[in-house]
Chains A and B, each alone.
Chain A
Amino acid sequence: MTAVLEIRDLSKTYRTLRRGRRQALAGFDMTVAAGEVHGFLGPNGSGKTTTLRTLLGLIRPDGGEMRLLGQPVPERLAEVAGRVGAIVESPQFFPHFSARDTLSLLADAGDVPRTRVGEVLELVGLRDRAKDRIRTYSLGMKQRVAVASALLKRPELLILDEPANGLDPGGIREMRDLMRSLAADGMTVLLSSHILGEIQQICDSVTIISLGRRVAAGPVEEVLRAHSAASVRVRLEAADDLPRAAAALTEAGGQVTSLPDHLLVAAERPAWITRTLADRGLYVSELAPITVDLESVFLELTGTAPVAGQARQVDESVVVGGHA
């Protein structure tokens, strides 16, 4: 596995006169392998944007090491910047220029042929609105311009911070398809997003950050498996047999939760459940593994699941090993 992005022990503390010290990154680690679509998740204020901005030379880190495409950054960022396309946070462009002007000025500044401008405008679906001023664009259209600007230099690594922000459902699907096709062409994509369903669908691996530290990382399936209390839903032909079944499974060493019309059996193989019940003359009508999704893992790991009657504050997340 060749890593195109490596971050080790990255730290950053903001110091302001008004708010004092605020630690945004506290020894954060991340690795993104070449050719994968990597999801970068974290609650608001967890340090995602600080990480991306630090990686791209916009913010000076207090400590740690970073490498982009094998080169140490920020020391040799200028050498690899031409191979990295990025958008950070919400798209911001000079409102009185058209998308075409904006992109052609960037192309000129980066020695990219202007013919590429038309190609990326076509790619993000802005061909027919390219000559309109950006101030007339919706948030989703500005987002498309941002993605177009990142794609302009045919990057090897594409870093996108909330690319689906403001997009309509069709736009989100287009963006997903675009990511997939870029990844299929060999581009590595680092995708920061809050749309966890999207991340789960298109990402090969993820890193989850909370309060400036990595709380989970790895292939999506592994993260789901490692952080889910896997259980199996069991129904019987006769609901009256459920107490007997619960007793039998408990007696055989299983952890059982009884519910009115089914049982939940924790962390056991379905075959063991079937055999245990059949040995006692109980026959299963439904045996379904309860799957967890990325959203529930994310909420669990970051401690940001909503609680009825409570208004969670932005920085109320968890750190590794305990609650903040």
Chain B
Amino acid sequence: MEIVLALAIGALTASGLWLLLRPRTFQVVLGLSLLSYAVNLFILAAGRLRTDAPPIVGRDGPVDPSLYADPVPQALVLTAIVISFATTALLLVVLLASRGLTGTDHVDGEEGDQ
């Protein structure tokens, strides 16, 4: 399972980074989204991978913590997802404003030398 997750993170990061360096604003937005997926998976992996282990402890008495998954990275991921979603939405608005004001979707607001 580790190798699958690692490959997924790697593929997402690589394609995100490539898109981030492209000249069109929409590609940049997509690149940032892919990168943020990669980072979210990475945070989840930082809490060690477990299957079939709940992160929330029940109310009935003392429990064995080794049976449970680490809840902290999951909470972090939730926060990170919300924040990256919001900032991506904001970036999309700026993208549209930039397209409207400059008439091009190039990141510099003007077409570079071909």
Chain A partners chain B: no
**Interface residues in chain B, defined as those with a beta carbon under 8 Å from any beta carbon in chain A:** none
